[in-house]
Amino acid sequence: MTLAMQQAAEAEARGEVPVGAVLVKDDNVVAVGSNDCIGQHDPSAHAEMQCLREAGKLVENYRLLDTTLYVTLEPCAMCAGAMVHSRVSRLVFGAKDEKTGAAGSVVDLVRHPKFNHQLEVNNGVLEQECSEQLSQFFRRRRKEKKEQKRELKRLEAVKSESNAPAS
């Protein structure tokens, strides 16, 4: 999970939401991924998807049997579906996602009994650290947006003053 958190930090350094993923097989790292939706202009460029894509290319197979995916944030429905289709054996995630989590928080797609594959799930691994990484990012982002709005208002006021008729 520490390596996944490092991937998340790399995403944050690029201005992305800090989520990281690491795929492991037989105690060896197969692939890593981090969010890159903004940079790639691709809503599917989540950390998990990036990691699964890289792994598929490396092993030359879309089936990623007997693997464990470590992710800093509970996967969304898209990523959960990709894990089921790629036959990842086990999912380990840090922070729960109470808004879009698809591994138990909102829905549980990775263990749905009607699907032809279910994953073993372990959650809460470094949960506090993963949650804090995300919380700090969003706190900073909200503060930056607030400062941008304040600066925009200041510039508009200066512009209005310069356009006012002289008395």
Cβ atoms of residues 121 and 110 within 8 Å: yes
151 included as an active-site residue? no
Angle made by CA atoms 98, 80, 18, in degrees to the nearest 5: 60
Per-residue pLDDT tens digits for 30-39:
999 999 999 9
Q: Name the token pair of 141.
A: 């982002």
- What's the confidence (pLDDT) of residue 49? 98
Residue appearing with tokens 């894509």: 53
Q: Name the token pair of 19.
A: 């989520």
Q: Name the token pair of 165.
A: 């008729």
**Per-residue pLDDT tens digits of the chain, which is 167 residues long:** 999 999 999 999 999 999 999 999 999 999 999 999 999 999 999 999 999 999 999 999 999 999 999 999 999 999 999 999 999 999 999 999 999 999 999 999 999 999 999 999 999 999 999 999 999 999 998 998 888 888 888 888 887 777 767 65
Q: Name the token pair of 159.
A: 């512009």
Q: Name the token pair of 76.
A: 């969304």
Per-residue pLDDT tens digits for 115-154:
999 999 999 999 999 999 999 999 998 998 888 888 888 8
Quote the longest CA-to-CA distance of the chain: 80
First CA to last CA distance, the chain: 66
- What's the confidence (pLDDT) of residue 164? 65
Phi, psi of 20 (to 5 degrees): -130, 155
The one catalytic residue among 16, 48, 127, 132: 48
Cβ atoms of residues 119 and 90 within 8 Å: yes
- What's the confidence (pLDDT) of residue 166? 62
